[in-house]
Amino acid sequence: MQNGRFNPTLIESTMHYLVQETERRSAKHSVMTLSRYHKIYNDIVLKSLGQKMIELGAPLTSFHFRHAGGVWNLHREYETREDHPYKNGYGMIMHGGYHYIDLAVQFLRLNKLIFPDTIFSLTMSSYVAYPADQNDRIPKKFSKNFDDNCPDWATLESNSDKYGETDVVTSFCLKNKDTGKVLTVGTISLEQTTPSIRTWKDIPPGMYNKNGRISSIEFEAQLSTLHSVNVQCFDVPIRGNKEVDRLDAFARVSTRTNASLLQGEEFNTEETHNGLFHSDSNRQLMSMWLKGEEHRSQLADHILTMRMVQYLATSIKNPGHPITFDFF
C-alpha cells in the first residue's frame, strides 16, 4: 500500500524485506497457498512432468492456464466490500489469482532441469476488465433482477482508475536472456466474470460464499513435439431441496504423447479424480508446518512468484504493451 492505494511496484522489495527479517530472527514462515501440496497440481502433474522432462531431455515449450473464478459482485458491493477491497485497488490478481500465478511459476521453473545455468527473461502483455466495464458485460434482464443495471456507474466518482480489476488475460514468452531465443510461450487467464451460482440480490448474514463463487481450472503443459498434459479441475454444485447444498470437486488429467517414437508410451491417457477440496492442500501444508517439516512453501521460495505478481499487476496499467523483466 502507498497513500492508501494498492501499489504493485512495492511488492518485490517488500518481499525481500520480509525474508531478510525472518532470516535475521531465525523464524520459520510458510505461505498458505493451495498450489504447493495440491493432490493433482503438485503431487501428480508437476512431479510427473518434471520426471518426464529429465527422461526426454525436453524443455517446457508452452504453458496455458485459465482460472474461471465464478465471482459475481454487484456494483454497490465493489464500493462496500472490506474483505476483498476493490475500492482500494485490489483486484483479481490479489483475490486468489496469486495461487495460480504461483502454480505457473512452478511449471516454468521446471525448465531449470534442462537449462540449469541459463538466465531467462519473461515478456508479458495483458488485457484487463474492470468493475466499470461490468454493466455492458452482464445481460440486462438479469442485472435488473439484482437492481444492478447501472449504466452511469463508471462516470461517477467510482471509476476504473480507482477500482481493482475483475478479469485479466496475459500472453507471455520466456527467453534465454543472452541469446534472445524463445523457450516457452503461453497464456495466463484470471477471470471472475464467469458462470456463478448466485441467485440472491442481498447477501444473507453470515454467508461465506457471498457472491456465488465456483471455481474452474484448466491448464496444459507441452514438452516440445513429444508430450503434453492437460488438467481440468472444477467445482461441482450439488443441488439440495431448493438451492445448492454443497460443492464437490472433480479433476480430469489427460496426456498426449508421440507413442510412435517413445516406446512403451500410449498416444492418449486419461484419469479422473473425485472428492477434491482445496482445503485439503491447505490442511496438509499447516500440518507439515506444525510438525516443523514444511519445505515446499517457505517464504523465501515465493520471491519469484511475487516478482511475477508485481510485473503482472504492473502490466495491466498499460494494456497491450509488453513488459520484460529478469525472471530466473
Which domains does the chain carry?
8-326 (3.30.360.10)
Q: Check pLDDT > 70 for residue 99.
A: yes
Decide: 285 and 32 in contact? Cβ < 8 Å: yes
Model confidence at 159: pLDDT above 60: no
Phi/psi-derived region of residue 275, left when phi > 0, alpha when psi is between -120 and 50, beta in every other case? left
pTM of the full predicted structure?
Answer: 0.93
Helices (H), 86-151: 98-108, 140-143
- pLDDT classification of 248: cutoffs 50, 70, 90: confident
Q: What is the mean pLDDT of residues 232-237?
A: 88
The model's pLDDT over 183-211, given as tens digits with 9 standing for 90+, comes to 999 999 999 999 999 999 998 888 888 88
pLDDT digits (tens, 9 = 90+) for 32-68: 999 999 999 999 999 999 999 999 999 999 999 999 9
Out of 25-39, 149-163, 229-243, 260-274, which region has the weakest mean confidence (pLDDT)? Answer: 149-163
Q: For 226-248, what is the mean pLDDT?
A: 84
Please name which of 100, 96, 99, 90 lies closest in space to residue 131, comparing C-alpha atoms: 90
Q: What is the pLDDT of residue 15?
A: 96
Taking 80 as the threshold, does the pLDDT of residue 266 lie above it?
A: yes
Q: What local confidence, expressed as pLDDT, does residue 241 receive? A: 66
